[in-house]
Copies of this chain bind each other. A is one copy, B any other.
């Protein structure tokens, strides 16, 4: 059996991405795997690649998702204090993950969870580069270095490439997991991912 990284695609504007982010690390470690953290931008995917309106603005589905996200947080035992407004730019936060991936020797999972929690468990802004640098500093990364990296052409380009490549590979939601080539969409599919990794069915 191969031991390739589990590819975890997520957008910081997606609370379902957060719910899965809280579990994917342990799920991988239990199986001797690592996680490749791949930030995407649903705005690009949903609007441009799929031609759909933003999820929260979709009639019937939008109100359901807001209700379901709060309920799901309770089920998962996570604090729930969403940012206001719930739709914000996740570009800076996504760039921080790109930077961390390239930089190396960084606990990307810790950074991703710190950003997610700041937004969805504390209801704080993570849309600005300063806010993202502040979150990075809160987990002992060099805030000044992170702040500078968010404006770096290499990092900006890295995010564009990551988003485009995800779309090319069929990724259309958050979270989206590719495990040994098999695609899984949704935080409620982690059990299925586990079964797949443990031998399929």
List residues of A whose CB falls within 8 A of some B CB.
Answer: 45, 49-53, 58-61, 63-64, 67-68, 74-75, 167, 170-173, 183, 185-186, 188-189, 192, 195, 201
| Cβ contacts under 8 Å, A58 to chain B | 50-52
Interface centre among A49, A60, A185 (most CB of B within 10 A): A60
Q: How many copies does the complex hold?
A: 2
- What are 28 A-B pairs with beta-carbon distances under 8 A? A45-B60, A49-B60, A50-B58, A50-B59, A50-B60, A51-B53, A51-B59, A52-B53, A52-B58, A59-B172, A60-B170, A60-B171, A60-B172, A61-B173, A63-B170, A64-B170, A64-B172, A64-B185, A67-B183, A68-B183, A68-B185, A74-B201, A75-B192, A75-B201, A186-B188, A188-B188, A188-B189, A188-B192
A61 CB, nearest partner CB in chain B, Å: 5
How many angstroms from the CA of A103 to the CA of B47 in the assembled complex? Answer: 46
How many angstroms from the CA of A186 to the CA of B40 in the assembled complex? Answer: 24
Closest to A72 in B: B192
Closest to A187 in B: B188
